[in-house]
């Protein structure tokens, strides 16, 4: 979570992007934002971009880490081709069990800042990482191993990993008395409502990437719930009422 000073610097950079776009009449791009930063930027842009447009993109529709573009209306038809994002593909033997942390650790060992690295999607014998164009040039020219595992690296292949491999979920089904945050937190964590209240009041629960301290906050379908120490969940579906007037819901837990 960013401090107040970090927030001020973050918003100042957004203002610089808008100023650059207004002066040049062309795109202005950020580096990669995490999900909370994207949510903060979205709120800021709604109020501060004037007649300019803005959009987020991470290389594929389901990306979590995204780059912000601010641009004039006449640029919109070419937008996604111009995002400074490269898909870097790593191929290796399927029996080499490489993990997300192996790739991220290697990138960090090359002294990259986290903001130049987007999503890293790992599959069997194949990993594809979305990075800035500058990072891609260094990765493709310098990397031949991830840890001790030899890899073939290219930056001219399309994203091909099945979406089902990008993120996996575990379904949690149950009933709640209401869609209040404390009720849904209790179901998600399999704890009592009283313990759920304690978590919320201790600022350990985020809704859509922002900390919420009100136990009575009403959730809606597709809200994202992050509970420190317990994981991350999506309110996937609100099925309906039971005979006892409880609400049947489905949560998806990130695994």
Kindly write down the DSSP assignment for every residue of 77-92, as one continuous string. GGHHHHS-EEEEEEE-
CATH number for position 106: 3.30.70.330
Average pLDDT of the residues in 167-187: 96
| Domain count along the chain | 3
58 has pLDDT over 70? yes
Q: Please indicate, yes or no, whether residues 63 and 122 belong to a single structural domain of this protein.
A: no
Average pLDDT of the residues in 92-119: 96
Q: What pLDDT, on a 0 to 100 scale, did the predictor assign at position 2?
A: 63
Write out the residue range of the structural domain in which residue 98 sits.
85-166
Instruction: Read off the pLDDT band of 70 (50, 70, 90).
Output: very high
- Percent of the chain at pLDDT above 70? 99
Instruction: Please say which residue of 147, 166, 185 terminates a domain.
Output: 166
Using CA atoms of 80, 100, 185, 43 in order, give the dihedral in degrees to the nearest 10.
-30
Q: Please indicate, yes or no, whether residues 112 and 159 belong to a single structural domain of this protein.
A: yes
165 has pLDDT over 80? no
Residues 6+ apart with CB under 8 A from 43: none
Q: What pLDDT, on a 0 to 100 scale, did the predictor assign at position 1?
A: 56
Average pLDDT of the residues in 199-224: 97
78 has pLDDT over 80? no
Instruction: Please say which residue of 166, 183, 211 terminates a domain.
Output: 166
Q: pLDDT tens digits for 222-232?
A: 999 999 999 99
Q: Please indicate, yes or no, whether residues 69 and 98 belong to a single structural domain of this protein.
A: no
Evaluate whether 170 touches 252 at the Cβ level (below 8 Å): yes
The whole-model pTM stands at: 0.88
Q: Please indicate, yes or no, whether residues 155 and 217 belong to a single structural domain of this protein.
A: no
DSSP letters, 20-48, are HHHHHSS-EEEEEE-HHHHHHHHHHHHHH
115 has pLDDT over 90? yes
Evaluate whether 212 touches 129 at the Cβ level (below 8 Å): no
CATH number for position 71: 3.30.1370.160
Angle between helices 35-48 and 4-24 (to 10 degrees): 50
CA proximity to 187, closest of 236, 144, 130: 236
CATH number for position 239: 3.10.290.10
Instruction: Please say which residue of 32, 49, 81 terminates a domain.
Output: 81
Q: Please indicate, yes or no, whether residues 44 and 102 belong to a single structural domain of this protein.
A: no
Q: What pLDDT, on a 0 to 100 scale, did the predictor assign at position 163?
A: 82
Q: Please indicate, yes or no, whether residues 173 and 250 belong to a single structural domain of this protein.
A: yes
Q: pLDDT tens digits for 17-42?
A: 999 999 999 999 999 999 999 999 99
Residue with tokens 């790992």: 122
* Of 163 and 250, more confident: 250
Q: What pLDDT, on a 0 to 100 scale, did the predictor assign at position 81?
A: 82
Measured CA angle at 226 (ends 221, 228), to 5 deg? 155
């Amino acid at each position: 979570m960013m401090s107040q000073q970090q927030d001020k610097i973050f918003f100042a950079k957004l203002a610089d992007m808008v100023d650059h776009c207004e002066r040049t009449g062309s795109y202005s791009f950020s580096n990669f934002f995490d999900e909370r930063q994207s949510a903060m930027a979205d709120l800021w842009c709604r109020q501060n971009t004037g007649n300019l447009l803005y959009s987020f993109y991470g290389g594929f529709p389901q990306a979590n880490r995204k780059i912000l573009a601010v641009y004039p209306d006449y640029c919109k038809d070419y937008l996604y081709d111009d995002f400074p994002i490269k898909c870097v593909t790593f191929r290796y033997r399927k029996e080499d069990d490489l993990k997300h942390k192996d790739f991220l650790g290697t990138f960090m060992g090359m002294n990259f800042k986290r903001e130049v690295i987007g999503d890293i999607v790992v599959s069997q014998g194949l990993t594809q990482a979305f990075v800035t164009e500058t990072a891609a040039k260094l990765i493709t020219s310098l990397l031949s191993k991830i840890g001790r595992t030899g890899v073939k690296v290219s930056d001219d292949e399309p994203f091909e990993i099945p979406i089902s491999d990008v993120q996996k979920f575990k379904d949690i089904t149950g009933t709640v008395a209401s869609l209040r945050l404390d009720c849904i937190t209790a179901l998600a964590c399999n704890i009592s409502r009283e313990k759920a209240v304690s978590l919320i009041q201790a600022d350990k629960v985020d809704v859509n990437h922002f900390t919420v301290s009100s136990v009575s906050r009403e959730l809606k379908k597709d809200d994202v719930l992050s509970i420190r120490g317990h994981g991350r969940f999506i309110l996937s579906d609100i099925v309906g009422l039971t005979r006892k007037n409880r609400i049947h819901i489905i949560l998806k837990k990130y695994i």
